[in-house]
């Protein structure tokens, strides 16, 4: 059978949809499907909101093979459903890594292009699509090869799948000198110290954990982690654990999170420290706990991620104050510098500070999200659509000024709008205005 009906959810488990899903296992089947029944491609559905929801879709999870790898040049061609964590695990011992790795290794290569994902090295390396040499799109008229410089490439990079399923892609890997991470951790006293340190850091990989429950003078305190790949003894791989059931509501209640965060901060001595970690633990800290999204209970959670310009530190401070006051924050909050954007109309990363935070879907979450979205818009920033579950169409349109032209070009290629996902419909991303 080609189609199976399943209920699918975004990773945050708040937004859900009943979907007819096809799951081709071979390129030939995928091409035939794309010709006879065009539908958006879905990978491992790690987008938090509804970017990975659609009424009808092609799952790429079985199109996950590496088609060629040149250990001299670090050029790798693979089917789009290959997971970046799988690539990293196999490549690191060979001296290579995927050039950009998001916070989960379960992200697929196709998803990484469609969301133009960024990693802890964005300030040096840019986002994922900057490392793509070429890709193959499945279209109703047959496969089309696309390379950087083609107008179609800019529509596809960060293009939310709206140019059709990516069948395969060739990427340039990053050369690494070893297979462990040397991580230097330093406590940051407050937001200004944090932003200054982020600006000053020239480590290859930089990320900040922020205590989003802190208020007053401690607002914005956290830990700055600067990492580089090094050679070392590889600690034995730990087995993944699975969250067997939905956690009860109090598991991530405000007092629990406050206590946890304070302890987590003190774990790093006041003078800082340097530790050695397995590569996967550094890049994908949560992947060892399978289905960790169930820790938020059956109501699920939202993730808010914005980027604001470098001069918008006060806006960042206001947002953190609001989050602290709402007592909704989870332990998961990240602050990072992004380097200059790639210029693709729907690609999220642009220069500035990016704040990402998980918010349990409890009372008050909607109000807080609305306030954070508005504050982002006012600061001249934008929200990451791969995370979004709460923007208004007007906000999204204003945050992505290239959207209208992008929509026109995408609609010309797909007038039936077969590739629209739930996110694209909710935010009317393909409407003229």
Query: Rule CB under 8 A: which residues touch other proteins?
Result: 1-5, 23-29, 62, 65-69, 79, 90
CB of 3 to other proteins, least distance (A): 5
CB of 176 to other proteins, least distance (A): 17
Cβ distance to other proteins smaller for residue 65 or 273: 65
Cβ distance to other proteins smaller for residue 94 or 147: 94
- Alpha-carbon distance of 181 to 279, in angstroms, equals 6
- Alpha-carbon distance of 222 to 214, in angstroms, equals 9
CB of 417 to other proteins, least distance (A): 24
Cβ distance to other proteins smaller for residue 1 or 141: 1
CB of 23 to other proteins, least distance (A): 6
Read off the tokens for 239: 């087995």
* 29 neighbors 159 (Cβ within 8 angstroms): no
CB of 19 to other proteins, least distance (A): 12
Cβ distance to other proteins smaller for residue 131 or 168: 168
CB of 125 to other proteins, least distance (A): 23
Cβ distance to other proteins smaller for residue 50 or 79: 79
* 117 neighbors 284 (Cβ within 8 angstroms): no
H helices of 340-415, where? 365-378, 393-399, 403-413
Closest CA to 353 of 147, 155, 123: 123
- Alpha-carbon distance of 307 to 383, in angstroms, equals 7
Residue 273 belongs to what H/E stretch?
A: strand 273-278
C-alpha separations of 11 from 50, 114, 291, 335, 386 in Å? 9, 17, 9, 20, 10
- Alpha-carbon distance of 256 to 136, in angstroms, equals 48
Cβ distance to other proteins smaller for residue 3 or 264: 3
């Amino acid at each position: 059978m080609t189609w199976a009906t399943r209920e699918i959810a975004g990773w945050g488990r708040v937004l859900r949809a009943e979907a007819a899903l096809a799951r081709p296992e071979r390129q030939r089947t995928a091409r035939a499907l794309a010709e006879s029944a065009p539908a958006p491609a879905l990978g491992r559905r790690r987008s938090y909101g509804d970017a990975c929801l659609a009424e009808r879709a092609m799952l790429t999870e079985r199109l996950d093979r590496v088609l060629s790898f040149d250990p001299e040049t670090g050029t790798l061609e693979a089917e789009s459903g290959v997971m970046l964590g799988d690539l990293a695990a196999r490549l690191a011992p060979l001296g290579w890594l995927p050039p950009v790795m998001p916070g989960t290794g379960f992200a697929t290569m196709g998803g990484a292009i469609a969301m133009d994902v960024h990693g802890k090295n964005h300030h040096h390396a840019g986002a994922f699509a900057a490392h793509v040499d070429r890709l193959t799109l499945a279209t109703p008229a047959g496969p089309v090869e696309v390379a950087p410089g083609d107008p179609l490439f800019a529509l596809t990079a960060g293009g939310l799948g709206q140019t059709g399923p990516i069948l395969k892609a060739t990427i340039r890997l990053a050369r690494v000198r070893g297979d462990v991470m040397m991580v230097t951790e330093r406590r940051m006293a407050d937001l200004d110290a944090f932003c200054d340190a982020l600006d000053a850091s020239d480590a290859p990989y930089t990320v900040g954990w922020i205590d989003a429950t802190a208020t007053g003078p401690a607002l914005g305190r956290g830990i700055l982690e600067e990492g580089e790949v090094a050679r070392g003894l590889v600690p034995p791989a730990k087995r993944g654990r699975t969250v067997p059931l939905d956690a009860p509501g109090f598991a991530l209640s405000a007092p629990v999170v406050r206590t946890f965060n304070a302890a987590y901060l003190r774990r790093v001595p006041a003078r800082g420290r340097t530790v050695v970690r397995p590569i996967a633990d550094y890049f994908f800290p949560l992947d060892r706990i399978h289905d960790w999204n169930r820790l938020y209970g059956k109501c699920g959670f939202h993730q808010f991620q914005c980027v604001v310009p470098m001069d918008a530190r006060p806006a960042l401070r206001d947002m953190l104050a609001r989050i602290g006051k709402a007592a909704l924050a989870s332990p998961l909050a990240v602050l990072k510098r992004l380097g200059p954007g790639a210029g693709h109309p729907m690609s999220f990363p642009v220069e500035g500070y990016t704040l990402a935070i998980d918010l349990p879907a409890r009372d008050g979450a909607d109000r807080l999200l609305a306030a954070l979205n508005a504050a982002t818009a006012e600061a001249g920033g934008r929200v990451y659509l791969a995370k979004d579950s709460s923007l208004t169409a007007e906000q999204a349109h204003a945050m992505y000024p290239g959207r209208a032209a992008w929509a026109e070009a995408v609609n010309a290629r797909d007038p039936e709008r077969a590739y629209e996902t739930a996110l694209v419909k909710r935010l009317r991303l393909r409407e003229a205005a």
